[in-house]
Structure 1
Amino acid sequence: MSVREDLLKVEQQRFYTTPAFVAAIGVLLITTFALFIPPFIGMADNGDYFRILYSNGLYFHDPHYDSQYLGYFVKQYGILQYFNENGATLFSSQSIFIKMALQLNEWFFSTEVFDIRFQGALYTVLYVIGIYLLTESLTWQLDRKRGYIISLVTIFLFADTAYTAYFNSFYSESVVLISLIYMVASLLLIYRNRYNDYVMMILFTISSLLLTTSKQQNSPVGIIIAVMGLLLLFIKPSKLFRAVTTITLAAVLFAGVGSYILISDEFKNINKYHAMNRGILLNSPDPEAALEAFDIDRQYAVLSGDIYYLPYTTVDVNSNLLVENFYNRYSFFSVLLYYISHPDQAISMLNKAAQNGFAIRPEAMGNFEQAVGKPFGEQTSFFSLYSKVKQSISPKTFGFIVIWIVIMIGLFVPSFITAFKARDKRGMLPLPLIVTLILIGLSAILVSIVGAGDADLAKHQFLFTASFDVVTYAAVCSLIARRLWS
């Protein structure tokens, strides 16, 4: 090769931009345009904000806030100026990011008013880095043509505003999405032997802990990750690596168990109220008989279909009468056993979950500020083709989910068998990762049904729809890269 050709090759490499960089920049530009350029995009409050707001030193300072519930996005909140007497109503890793955003807000904007876009900017930066790592794990050492196709697929899916609109909100779904991306990216990078294994294990640990503790309903996630992650113990013969991995898995397992223990009695009662009245009684052909199965007085059948937050109820939801004669008569485990012994009701609830399981963004919450002049509850259509197509064409049955699971696992089995025969433990990682994500998604469905019936199913199943997208994305990208059978 001549010197001229050598120089030409160097010039071409200088201007070569990796697919991971293209994907990250694409997601950054689209998200910035959506969230930080008028009209600003965010998520309206469905009534849940108070649970996380006051304990983090914030309050609703808009005098017309109540009239904007569900319909309009509100971007500014008051910062408490004196002693905060409000204790945490729930334990969530989301508070870490709110406090970080609050500190940035006080440095660069105001010590009295909090602009939620500081939190949105923080999430966006973390998200873009995660997208870079995820794309890098799937395009490392891949030819440019296929790599760029994967980067376009990445932008199409993960820049969708149905996902990124959560960044300008106080819903924990933002933390769920970002930590899920990092968890998957770190494991795939370990599989690809890209970057330092110890650094990736630290990233895996942090992201798994954040995911498990982001929502209290995610407590089973820690147990699933800890069990499925046992293969990581054998990918490297180093005793130090195995010690680090053991500590990691133990910490994630403890986080899962701890998250469940820390659920307050109030939240347990809210979920139990919905599990019975919006689940078992609502779908039972004989509600009185269903109550007798739990040794509950038949007269409580009048609560069938009720929601805990109704302003006027048949009986006070916080009364000792209900605690002694209703809440204390059943548990989530007994509800699960009831569904197992009544498969017709279980299938009915699973199909109802499937009907809501493919909506990334619940239809109930608007995305625009009231000042923009959009109708109440209006949602943005900007860069949301993927979420709309997914919701409209996905078969709304649990049977489809079962078929999808079989196909996804089947696609990754050949490479697992090949790696197993070659005793390549690192090469065996993709299949356990896919199974882990599927189990995490299924846990979201199960916890939603058993824990709260059909109450707010679309939002409760965000972890399922995110896991569904990540698994499908990994399979599609592996097909594009022709790496499924190697």
Structure 2
Amino acid sequence: MKKINYIKNNCLIETVILVIIGIILLNTLFIYPIIGRYNNGDFDRLMVYGGLNEMGRNYHEIYDGFMHAKYLVTDPGVFLPFYWDWVSEAVLVKFAVVLFLIVNGFRSNIFDIRYLSFFYCAAFLLGIFLVLRYNRLSKVTKLFAGVFIILFFTSTCYIAYFNSFYGEAGTIIFFFLTIGTYLRLITMSKPRIRDFVYFFIASGGFLTAKSQNLPLFIFMLIIYGSLYVCYSELRYGKEILIGSVFVFVFCFISYFSLTNTIKENNLFQSVFCGVLQQSKTPEKDLTELGLNKKLVIFNGHSFYNKDKGLDPLGKDMMKEFYPKISNWKILGFYLSHPGRMWEKIEDSANNAYAFNKPGNWNFEKNQKDSKKLVNNFRIELIDKFQAFHHNVYVFIVFSIMYFGVSLFYLITSKKRDIKLLNLMIIFILVAGASQFVLPIIGAGHCDFGKHLFLLNLCYDTMFGISLLWCMHIIPRVLYAAKFKIRKRKILNG
């Protein structure tokens, strides 16, 4: 009874919101027919950390274009602390496999993907709870934030990743956990050491969820540095430095665990499916990159395609291409050709929000049920306003306004928590806006829509933040206007 009264008096809105989200997650991800994502060749990097393998016996059974729910536990990979292509989700995969083995008494080796989804959902709900507990939210704005999260972030375009081995699932949950633990930390007058630990674990998990997120460590350092400045007087400086080093070490491990094949693939795609994509002067571009122009024969060629005698990992390429190219050279090329850079930014805007309603590929084979109730609100909104979601100028204008307001509060506010809040708000902008360029530099147009996932996640979050700010500021503006009118009337008799 005491717990019920506590919930009723202290966190009723949060509880109602979480229950609704929990029901949506349960129905979408756990009750058959379940929705997820199919393996396009990326699953192996994460599956190895659980000692998992596909149940299919050949290529066509494994890559059949359908979501798979069952996997074989075949080796003790679950005991590997680190290996090639390490990402933060590897820890959750290990937890999921261990839980599966314990629940089944170590008698079954048929792993169910929903065990992993359970951990993703638990972390997702925790992150949302922490966000909604932010003490500067009124009951009205808290309720609005909860409704916004339900409509946007429980849409199948986001949560379907939980039933998969894609890094996007980790990006989602650690993104919300980072924001939630940060909000909890900055609103405490006397935070505990464990509150800093929670934030550093969450932010480290976000940065290492995908190799694509690693460059954001540079911008996250600004937040770490600001925490150090703000809290060193409370004798937390040492803990913040240790936490920063901790995150750096794991980012270092994640980056240098990338296999040569991954690095070579990304470099190949960033040049031949990026720089040379729609280029009118491909041979000249190669020369400016310091490469032999004869390599133009690979223009538009896939890294995994060896047709016509073109082997992306052949002797000539290993000698003439990979040793002479880097992401820094590619960035330098775009900086020296601002027109080409702008073209790529427009391409990113045109490929943003490449979300689709669930199709056969989101279900297990022969399991699709068109009558299954799921949340497609975000997808339907995109379909209805295609031009709005793919207009680069909309992104630019919104980003400038968002940044201007955040910077204003950052500079003018005298309250520590407001300054720190707006630093995180700006970090979300940086994380999202950087995706207009980073995917192009890192992998060209290869799997472009998927590589823009963080852009979608960040701008949806920024849109929600902007709406909350409007709800907060409009009543104040109206009240101030009414006050001025009354004052004039009094002065005028």
Whether contact under 8 Å (2:359, 2:368) holds in the other structure is no
For the residues of structure 2 that align with 1:358 and 1:35, how far apart are their CA atoms?
Answer: 22
**Structure 1 runs not aligned, ≥5 long:** 1-9
TM-score in terms of structure 2 length? 0.86
Structure 1 residue 32 and structure 2 residue 26: aligned?
A: yes
Alignment of 1:30-429 (within 5 A): 30-63=24-57, 66-67=60-61, 69=63, 71-80=65-74, 88-109=83-104, 110-137=107-134, 140=135, 142-193=137-188, 196-236=191-231, 238-312=233-307, 314-359=309-354, 366-373=361-368, 382-390=374-382, 392-393=384-385, 394-419=388-413, 422=414, 424-429=415-420
Aligned-partner residue type, residue 316 of structure 1: D
- The amino acid across from 2:390 in the alignment is K
Q: Secondary structure at the match of 1:102?
A: helix
Computed over aligned residues only, the root mean square deviation of the Cα atoms, in angstroms, reads 3.1
| CA shift in 2, pair 1:146/1:366, >3 Å | same
Give yes or no for contact 2:66–2:362 (8 Å, CA) kept in 1. Answer: yes
What amino acid does structure 1 have at the position aligned with 2:374? F
Question: Which piece of structure 1 moves more, 333-342 or 101-110?
Answer: 101-110
* Cα shift at 1:297: 2.3
Q: CA–CA distance in 2 between the matches of 1:112 and 1:237?
A: 50
Kept in 1: contact 2:56–2:62 (CA 8 A): no
Deviation at 1:262, TM superposition (A): 3.2
Pairing partner for 1:478 from 469, 486, 489: 469
CA contact (8 A) 2:51 2:76 kept: no
Match of 1:453 in 2: 444
Cα gap change, 1:34 to 1:83, in 2 (>3 Å): closer
Give the equivalent residue in structure 1 for 2:486.
none
Aligned-partner Cα distance in 2 for 1:85–1:134: 33
Give 3-state SS (helix, strand or coil) of 2:68's partner: coil
TM superposition shift of 1:455: 0.4
Deviation readout 1:368-401 (Å, 9 max, x if unpaired)? 1113156xxx998720112331365234243332
**Which is further off, 329-338 or 102-111?**
102-111
- CA–CA separation in structure 1 for the residues paired with 2:209 and 2:6: 44
| Aligned residue identity for 1:471 | M
SS at match of 2:208: helix
1:81-112 Cα offsets, whole Å, 9 max, x none, are: 57899994412112111110001111123531
Cα offset, 1:359, TM superposition: 3.1
Distance, in Å, in 2 between the alignment partners of 1:95 and 1:143 is 37
Deviates further, 205-214 or 350-359: 350-359
Letter in 1 for 2:344: M
Structure 1 residue 177: Cα displacement: 0.7
Query: For residues 96 and 84 of structure 1, do their structure 2 counterparts lie closer, same or farther at Cα, with a shift above 3 Å needed?
Result: closer
Instruction: Provide Cα deviations, 1:223-248, integer angstroms capped at 9, x if missing partner.
Output: 21012332212333545312212222
Query: Deviations 1:204-224 (Å, cap 9, x if unpaired)?
Result: 100111111111222112221
Aligned counterparts of 1:201 and 1:85: Cα–Cα separation in 2 = 28
Q: Quick one: percent identity of the two aligned structures?
A: 22
In structure 2, the CA distance between the partners of 1:392 and 1:224, relative to structure 1 (3 Å rule), is: farther
Whether contact under 8 Å (2:331, 2:441) holds in the other structure is yes
Structure-2 change in CA distance of 1:93 and 1:237 (3 Å): closer
Where in structure 2 are there 5+ consecutive unaligned residues? 478-493
The structure-2 alpha-carbon separation of the partners of 1:230 and 1:485, relative to structure 1 and needing over 3 Å to count, comes to farther
Partners of 1:118 and 1:17 lie apart in 2 by: 28
AA partner of residue 331 (structure 2): L
Equivalent pairs counted in the alignment come to 469
Structure 1 residue 195 displacement after superposition: 8.7
Question: 428, 437, 452: which is aligned to 1:437?
Answer: 428
For residue 365 of structure 1, report the CA deviation from its aligned partner.
8.4
Amino acid at match of 1:49: F
Report SS of the residue matched to 2:124: helix
Q: Distance in 2 between the 1:96 and 1:83 partners? A: 12
- How far the C-alpha of 1:39 sits from its partner, in A, is 1.1
Distance 1:265 1:386, change over 3 A: same
Q: Does the CA-based 8 Å contact 2:156-2:374 persist in structure 1?
A: yes
Distance in 2 between residues matched to 1:205 and 1:219, nearest whole Å: 15
State whether residues 24 and 132 of structure 1, in contact with CA within 8 Å, keep that contact through their aligned partners in structure 2: yes
C-alpha contact 1:104 1:118 (8 A) present in aligned 2: yes
AA of the residue aligned to 1:458: G
Residue 7 of structure 1 corresponds to none
TM-score w.r.t. length of structure 1: 0.88
Query: Secondary structure, in 3 states, of the residue corresponding to 2:361?
Result: coil
What letter corresponds to residue 37 of structure 2 in structure 1? M
Q: Which moved more, 1:17-26 or 1:166-175?
A: 17-26
2:489 corresponds to: none
Moved more, 125-134 or 232-241: 232-241
Q: What is the CA distance between 1:55 and its match in structure 2?
A: 4.6
User: Which amino acid counterpart does residue 229 of structure 1 have in structure 2?
Assistant: Y
Q: Distance in 2 between matches of 1:106 and 1:197?
A: 36
